[in-house]
């Protein structure tokens, strides 16, 4: 096994090509970086770690400073590793989209009130040689590809809470049943998202879903719980700084006017930085982003992705105090963009279900490939989920498995064909997923062996 190179083993070049050399340098030593990261966050499609560049040696720091063209370089950087290696360059595509989003902000003539985007320093598909590094990454939730390949992005590290954690902490500060959590927050303790969510859910008596497979019902329950939290914050006197909502809204409007859509701008993808606070939001996770190559305005365009204005629409209600809300219609307005998306998807699915029922009821010699083709067209065109984008595979299979599951309930005669299809596809070399929803679906149509 090859031993990782030291960061002091390469001479720093004295030329105009230093900026380009930085990428080569980082690529050569990326495994040494991966040996040193500390996991700090996790999302649907990626693991985020923290790297302290001071641990990499003074020569590495000198190189980075020289290639920064006079900009201040932070000692700490974030390293994102995609959870599932797809072999499609999803990580590089995400980094390009993130850089494009940042470029559009910097090109704006009035970018003072806009959100910011972390700067990208490096994005590559890398092959990990050290067994201990592979084991550590896998224990953190990264599924490596053949040859221990992973997709890695190195960017600015933003110290702070995502907006979801920020809101849960505000609930904890106000709720009498969460005084112990408030004390821990005030003491500076770093609480996990899951613990905060569990305690807030209990305190606000969130509804729980009885059926994991009823995706649309679950989404409605999520929306109701979400409304409970916003109503509680409103009634407790919490006021959200309007600069936050305005900043997110203006940034999204700028992007949309240039043909750029984030497509996944929810609470966990907005960071409230420790330095700058709620007035200076930072937007992250561009794995689902798209851009109109012609640069046409995409605002208001019909899409089944999460509306880019979801956050600014939903949370604007909290930017006025309780006295201002009284007697106004603001207390009755809860514009949840995702609810509209789910409703639209439900209507589209009803049409698909009727079409499939007609085929399955009428034809004894079922062309199962034709059934799968119709489902694929629905998932990719109507739900607009691309299974080859970074966050696409899980969403693609979750929805597809849900449709197949519903079909087996109404048409038990196709259970065998569905089981064979899932087995042959999910266990092929082309699909390597550990989706809970897919595994749960398999358990419903196949008895435990």
Tens-place pLDDT, residues 155-171 = 989 999 999 999 999 99
For tokens 């006025």, the residue is 320
Contact 344/234 with Cβ under 8 angstroms?
no
Mean pLDDT, the chain, whole residue set:
76
Domain boundaries, given as residue ranges, for the chain: 18-157, 162-335, 341-445
Q: Tell me the mean pLDDT in the region 57-72.
A: 61
pLDDT at residue 268, as a whole number? 92
List the structure tokens of 80. 């994102």
The Cα–Cα gap between 76 and 119 comes to: 12
Pairing of strands 38-42, 76-82: unpaired
Digit-coded pLDDT (tens) for 312-324? 988 988 987 655 6
pLDDT recorded at residue 438: 42
Query: For 103-114, what is each residue's pLDDT tens digit?
Result: 999 999 887 889
How confident is residue 437, by pLDDT bands cut at 50, 70 and 90?
A: very low
Out of 69-78, 328-337, 410-419, least confident range: 328-337
pLDDT higher at 303 or 265? 265
Is the pLDDT at 240 greater than 50, yes or no? Answer: yes
Residue 58: partners with Cβ closer than 8 Å, 6 or more residues away: 8
Q: What band does 253 get if pLDDT is binned at 50, 70 and 90?
A: very high
| Six-digit token string for 42 | 């996790």
pLDDT confidence of residue 421: 77
Q: What integer pLDDT is reported at residue 60 of this predicted model?
A: 64
Confidence at 433, pLDDT banded by 50, 70, 90: very low
pLDDT at 24: 62
Backbone angles phi, psi at 278, to 5 degrees: -65, -20
23 confidence band (pLDDT: 50, 70, 90): low
In the block, tokens 């096994």 appear at 1
Q: What is the pLDDT of residues 390-399, one digit of tens each?
A: 444 455 666 6
Element of type H or E holding 420 = helix 415-426
State residue 86's pLDDT score.
76
pLDDT at position 434 is: 37
Residue 339: pLDDT over 50: no
Q: With bands split at pLDDT 50, 70 and 90, how would you rate the model's confidence at 442? A: very low
Structure pTM?
A: 0.68
pLDDT at 34 (0 to 100): 86
Of the ranges 118-122, 267-271, 341-345, the best mean pLDDT one: 267-271
Cα 90 to Cα 389: distance, rounded to the nearest angstrom: 6
Q: What are the structure tokens assigned to 39, written together?
A: 């996991």
pLDDT at 327 over 50: no
C-alpha 222/C-alpha 42 separation (Å) is 20
Strand segments, DSSP code E, in 166-318 are: 260-261, 270-273, 282-283, 290-291
**What is the tens place of the pLDDT at every residue in 386-432?**
555 444 445 566 667 777 777 777 787 888 888 777 766 654 433 33
pLDDT of residue 400: 74
CA atoms within 13 A on the CB side of 296: 5
Q: Is the pLDDT reported for residue 364 higher than 70?
A: no
381: left (phi over 0), alpha (psi -120 to 50) or beta: alpha
Q: What is the CATH number of domain 18-157?
A: 3.30.200.20
């Amino acid at each position: 096994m090859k031993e990782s190179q030291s960061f002091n083993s390469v001479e720093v070049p004295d030329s105009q090509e230093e900026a380009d050399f930085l990428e080569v340098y980082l690529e050569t030593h990326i495994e040494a970086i991966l040996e040193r990261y500390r996991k700090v966050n996790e999302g649907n499609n990626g693991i985020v770690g923290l790297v302290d560049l001071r641990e990499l040696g003074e020569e590495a720091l000198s190189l980075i400073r020289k290639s920064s063209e006079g900009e201040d370089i932070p000692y700490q950087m974030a390293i994102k590793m995609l959870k599932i290696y797809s072999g499609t360059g999803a990580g590089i595509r995400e980094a390009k989209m993130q850089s494009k989003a940042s470029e559009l902000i910097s090109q704006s003539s009035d970018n003072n009130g806009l959100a910011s985007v972390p700067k990208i320093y490096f994005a590559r598909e890398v092959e990990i040689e050290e067994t201990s590094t592979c084991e550590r990454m896998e224990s953190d939730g990264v599924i490596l590809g053949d040859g221990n390949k992973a997709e890695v992005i190195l960017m600015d590290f933003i110290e702070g809470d995502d907006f979801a954690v920020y809101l849960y902490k505000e609930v904890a500060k106000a709720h009498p049943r969460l005084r112990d959590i408030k004390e821990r927050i005030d003491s500076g303790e770093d609480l996990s998202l899951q613990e905060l969510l569990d305690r807030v859910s209990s305190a606000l008596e969130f509804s729980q879903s009885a059926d994991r497979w009823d995706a649309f019902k679950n989404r409605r329950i999520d929306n109701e719980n979400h409304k409970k939290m916003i109503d509680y914050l409103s009634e407790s006197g919490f006021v959200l700084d309007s600069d936050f909502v305005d900043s997110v809204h203006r940034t999204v409007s700028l992007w949309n006017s240039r043909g750029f859509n984030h497509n996944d701008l929810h609470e966990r993808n907005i960071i409230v930085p420790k330095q700058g606070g709620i007035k200076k939001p930072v937007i992250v996770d561009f794995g689902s982003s798209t851009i109109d190559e012609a640069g046409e305005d995409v605002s208001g365009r019909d899409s089944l992705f999460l509306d880019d204005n979801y956050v600014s629409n939903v949370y604007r209600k909290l930017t006025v105090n309780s006295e201002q809300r009284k007697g106004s219609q603001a207390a009755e307005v809860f514009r949840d963009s995702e609810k509209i998306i789910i409703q639209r998807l439900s209507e589209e699915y009803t049409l698909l279900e009727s079409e499939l029922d007609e085929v399955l009821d009428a034809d004894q010699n079922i062309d199962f490939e034709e059934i799968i083709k119709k489902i694929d067209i629905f998932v990719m065109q109507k739900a607009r989920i691309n299974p080859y984008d970074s966050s696409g595979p899980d969403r693609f299979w979750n929805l597809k498995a849900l449709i197949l599951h519903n079909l087996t309930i109404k048409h038990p005669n196709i259970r065998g064909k569905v089981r064979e299809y899932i087995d042959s596809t999910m266990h092929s070399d082309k699909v390597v997923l550990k989706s809970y929803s897919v595994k749960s679906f398999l358990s419903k149509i196949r008895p435990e062996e």
